[in-house]
Amino acid sequence: MTDHSAQHGSEARVLSCRGIERSFGGLKALKGVSLHVNSGEIFGLVGPNGSGKTTMVNVMTGFYPPDAGQIELFGEDVTRVSPHRIAERGVARTFQNLALFKGMSVLDNILLGRHVHMRPSALASLFYWVWAQREELAHRRVAEEIIEFMQLEDIRDEPVDVIPIGLQKRVELARALVSEPRFLILDEPMAGMNQEEKEYIARFILDARDERNVSILIIEHHMDVVTAICDRVVVLSYGEIIAQGEPRKAIADPAVVKAYLGERAAQRHIGVAA
């Protein structure tokens, strides 16, 4: 595997989180997590359900301010910056639970990903701008390019609600890419996909990094995917880092094996199929 991690020291860091803490009521979801993502890297954030992965992403994208700790993006402090301002700095994300606009077509959903590049006046009328004259063509060109890149031509005019879940996840990824991010955060982009769809998405993620210069943080449960595409991983359990580094090595760490076995045992206990 090529080493895509930073050759130039800390200025090539896309993201740097130090000592992140976050509680919900009495529950400590993050207990002092420090991690960084290097420029050009595909970084995996893994761990059993409830270990704090989505919370970590919500903190780094401004959705939840941390109780303690510091976040830097592209070398600048963004610890209490709003999600909108973080998006403007070139960060795009997809959500664990699909967040597409039902009733709108695939193309229009993807076009909405351009909103970070709109002028404030256009932003005020989010839905009007699609038809607004001057900017539409430029936005459309980028959208068309992404639709081709992600092989969505055949369904571009379909309402998003009628296409299968695996394709909806692909549309969400397209909407994130169309904002032309420097840093892309994907929260379980392959959930609900079959093997073939997973391989497609893995290929798109690698191509996005290699051809579009995007650094990527991915939360992913499929360990075959993690070991195939990630340069480095951090493994969380109960809001703490229990292993990190080269994916194969980190995942085989006894602490990680134990954390996942615990999850399976818990699922058996409550009658959930693992």
For ligand ADP, the binding residues (CB under 6 A) are 24, 27, 29, 47, 49-55
Give which of 204, 81, 117 is closest to 152, Cα–Cα. Answer: 204
For residue 238, give the nearest of 23, 22, 29 by alpha carbon.
Answer: 29
**55 interacts with Mg ion by CB under 5 A:** no
Residue 237 as a binder of Mg ion (CB under 5 A): the answer is no
Judged by beta carbon, residue 178 or residue 233, the one nearer Mg ion is 233
* By CB under 5 A, residue 61 contacts Mg ion: no
Query: Closest Cα to residue 42, out of 79, 15, 74?
Result: 15
- From the CB of 35, what's the least distance to ligand ADP, in Å? 14
Q: First and final CA of the chain: distance in angstroms? A: 31
The smaller minimum CB distance to ligand ADP, of residues 27 and 272, is found at 27
Per-residue binding letters, 85-104, with Mg ion (x by CB under 5 A): -----------x--------
CA-closest candidate to residue 207, choices 232, 179, 174:
174
User: CB under 5 to 8 A by kind: which of Mg ion, ligand ADP, none does 255 bind?
Assistant: none
Any idea of the CA torsion for 125, 129, 132, 137, to the nearest 10 degrees? 160
**Cβ at position 97, least distance to ligand ADP in Å:** 11
Binding residues vs Mg ion (CB under 5 A):
53-54, 96
